[in-house]
Amino acid sequence: MPQAATARGASVAAPPTRRTGPRWVSLLPLGPALLVVLALFLYPFLYGVQLSLHPQGTLARAGTLADYAAFFGDARERTSIWNTLRLAVPVTVLDLALALPLAYRLRRPLPGQRVITGLLVIPMTLGTVLLAEGMLEFFGPAGWVNKSLLALHLAATPVQFVHNYTGVFISLLIADFPAVFLVLLGYASGLDPWLDRAARTLGAGWWRRLSRVTLPLLAPGIAAAAALSFVATFSVFPSAVLVGEPAGSTRVIALAAWQAAYERFDYPQASAIAMVMAAIELVFVALVLAARYRAYRGPTIGGRP
């Protein structure tokens, strides 16, 4: 019945959009969230900035930037940045590398998918302290890992896994994985499966489908996960103390700030260190976001959904 079809296909006028008041009214619901941000984030931040610019004690007369100068002038303090970076960057990269194939594989419902996803997310529910305690047992000299290594003759003496860089690295890797995985899973399950098939019929093998279609479309998710992971690992504190070597290789920047504040009671110095920390995180996030905006952003569905 072509006649009937044409009649039904006739365009219907869009309903008129209704405006109930001036433009600012629609922004009102933002209010409470804005208040929380101001009270819990912006105020402490600005307070910290001004605190860091008012040195006390012997530095009081050395100018407003004396605490920053003191931090960068002291090799031990300066090294805390390096100590943190060499944890945060490899952990972020490795977590991304581990989570990406898993998230891609689990993007479509599979038998047992819920169980697998649940298991992968469990570390999120453990606190850092609980995780550290578990690690001390499990990776300790008399723990399962070393017992297995000895029994299999892979090691002659117990391997030192904790109270050093390795301990903090493993702890961060485990604690950080769920967030990275969940962010990537969200993006991966939004991928249109037909794009992969289309690329296939156009002659693309698995590597070129991955590099030309899948990864570019996942770039926003990878950027978000990388930023989240870096910020979380760069501010590492408890595990650096509990399973690390806080006096040496894992004296991270957060620990330096803590020692300034609560061992030397030098709040301006602690604030200055915290500002350095914030600046580094900001630079990393800015770099990641810049890379992301250079890549594609937009829908991950080809054509009309």
* Interface residues toward other proteins, by CB under 8 A: 1-9, 11, 192, 194-195, 197-205, 208, 212-213, 216-217, 295-296, 298-305
Q: Which is nearer to other proteins, 29 or 109 (CB)?
A: 109
Minimum Å gap between C-beta 12 and other proteins is 11
Q: Which is nearer to other proteins, 113 or 211 (CB)?
A: 211
Alpha-carbon gap, residue 177 to 97, rounded angstroms: 10
Minimum Å gap between C-beta 191 and other proteins is 10
Q: Which is nearer to other proteins, 2 or 29 (CB)?
A: 2
Q: Hunting for tokens 């996803």 — which residue is that?
A: 117
Alpha-carbon gap, residue 144 to 139, rounded angstroms: 7
Output the CA–CA distances (angstroms, integers) from residue 100 to 3, 107, 191, in the order listed: 52, 10, 13
Helix axes 165-189, 113-121, angle to 10 degrees: 140
Q: Which is nearer to other proteins, 45 or 206 (CB)?
A: 206
Q: Which is nearer to other proteins, 184 or 273 (CB)?
A: 184
Q: Which is nearer to other proteins, 71 or 104 (CB)?
A: 104
Q: Hunting for tokens 């453990």 — which residue is that?
A: 126
The conformation of residue 41, written as its DSSP 8-state character, comes to: I
Output the CA–CA distances (angstroms, integers) from residue 75 to 72, 117, 133, 196, 281, in the order listed: 7, 44, 32, 52, 21
Minimum Å gap between C-beta 113 and other proteins is 17
Minimum Å gap between C-beta 208 and other proteins is 7
Alpha-carbon gap, residue 161 to 150, rounded angstroms: 14
Residue type, 117: T
C-alpha dihedral sign at 53, 58, 63, 65 = negative
C-alpha dihedral sign at 96, 100, 101, 105 = positive
Minimum Å gap between C-beta 2 and other proteins is 7
Q: Which is nearer to other proteins, 202 or 283 (CB)?
A: 202
Alpha-carbon gap, residue 269 to 51, rounded angstroms: 9
> What are the two backbone dihedrals, phi and then psi, of residue 122, each rounded to the nearest 5 degrees?
-50, -45
Q: Which is nearer to other proteins, 22 or 298 (CB)?
A: 298
Tokens read off for 160: 């030192």
